[in-house]
Amino acid sequence: MTSRFRKFLGDSALSFPTWAYMLFFFALPVALVMWYSFGFKPDQFTTHSMEQLSLGRYREVVSPTFLSVFTATLRISIVGTLACLVIAVPFAYWLAVKVPPGRRGLLLALVLVPFWTNFLVRTLGWQIILSPDGFVSEALQGIGLLGSPLDILYSRAAVQIGVIYNYLPLMILPLFVAMDSAGVQLREASADLGAGKWRTFFQVTLPLATPGVVSGCLLVFIPLTGDYITASVLGGANGTMIGQLVANQFQNAQNWALGSAMAVVLMLFTLAVVVVTALLALVVKAIIRYVGRVELPTGQHAGTDAGTAADLPEGSRVRQAEPAVSGTTTGGPHA
Partner 1 sequence: MPERIRRRSLTDTALWVWGAVVFVFLFLPIAVIVLYSFNNGRLLASFDELGVQAYVSGLQNDVIIASVMTSLKAATGTALLATVLGTFGGIALARATKGAKWPVLLTALLALTLVTPEVVDGIAMLPWFVTLGVDAGLTPFNNGLFRLVIAHTAFSTAIVTFIIRARMAGIDSSLEEAAEDLGATKWRSFRDVTLPLAGPGILAGALMAFTLSLDNTILSSFVQQPGYTPWPVYIFSAVRVALRPEVAAISTAMLVLTLLALALVGLVLKRSGNSSSQIVKTMAGS
The minimum distance between CB 88 and partner 1, in angstroms, equals: 8
CB closer to partner 1, 78 vs 267: 267
Of residues 234-293, those binding partner 1 (CB under 8 A):
243, 246-247, 250-251, 256, 259-260, 263, 266-267, 270-271, 274
d(CA 229, CA 159): 10
Of residues 134-173, those binding partner 1 (CB under 8 A):
134-135, 165, 168-169, 173
The answer to whether residue 33 forms part of the interface with partner 1 (CB under 8 A) is yes
CB closer to partner 1, 303 vs 333: 333
CB closer to partner 1, 287 vs 326: 326
Binding residues for partner 1, rule CB under 8 A, total 109
d(CA 94, CA 174): 14
The minimum distance between CB 282 and partner 1, in angstroms, equals: 17
Near partner 1 by CB under 8 A, which window of 49-57, 61-69, 94-102, 184-192?
94-102
Of residues 168-207, those binding partner 1 (CB under 8 A):
168-169, 173-174, 177, 180, 197
The answer to whether residue 66 forms part of the interface with partner 1 (CB under 8 A) is no
Question: Given candidates 76, 214, 218, 257, which one binds partner 1 under the rule CB under 8 A?
Answer: 218
List Cβ neighbours of 211 (8 Å cut-off, separation of 6 or more). Answer: 174, 178, 309, 317, 320, 322, 329, 330
The answer to whether residue 99 forms part of the interface with partner 1 (CB under 8 A) is yes
d(CA 220, CA 323): 12
The answer to whether residue 228 forms part of the interface with partner 1 (CB under 8 A) is yes
Question: Given candidates 1, 3, 5, 17, which one binds partner 1 under the rule CB under 8 A?
Answer: 17
CB closer to partner 1, 121 vs 302: 121
The DSSP annotation for 105-159 comes to HHHHHHHHTGGGS-HHHHHHHHHHHH-TTSHHHHHHHHTTS-SS----TTSHHHH
The minimum distance between CB 310 and partner 1, in angstroms, equals: 18
d(CA 213, CA 221): 12
The answer to whether residue 46 forms part of the interface with partner 1 (CB under 8 A) is no
Question: Given candidates 58, 66, 79, 104, which one binds partner 1 under the rule CB under 8 A?
Answer: 104
The minimum distance between CB 210 and partner 1, in angstroms, equals: 16
Q: Which amino acid is at 328?
A: T
What angle do helix axes 28-36 and 256-291 make, rounded to 10 degrees? 120
- Give 258-263 contacts, CB < 8 A, sequence gap 24+: 258/41, 258/57, 258/60, 258/61, 260/33, 260/34, 260/35, 260/36, 260/37, 260/39, 260/48, 260/57, 261/37, 261/57, 261/58, 261/60, 261/61, 262/61, 262/66, 263/33, 263/37
Q: Are 129 and 45 in contact (CB under 8 A)?
A: no
The minimum distance between CB 289 and partner 1, in angstroms, equals: 26
Question: Given candidates 14, 143, 283, 302, which one binds partner 1 under the rule CB under 8 A?
Answer: 14
Where b means 16+ CB within 10 Å and e means fewer, 70-102 reads bebbeebbeebbebbbeebbebbbebbeeeeee
Question: Given candidates 58, 66, 119, 202, which one binds partner 1 under the rule CB under 8 A?
Answer: 119
The answer to whether residue 98 forms part of the interface with partner 1 (CB under 8 A) is yes
The minimum distance between CB 59 and partner 1, in angstroms, equals: 20
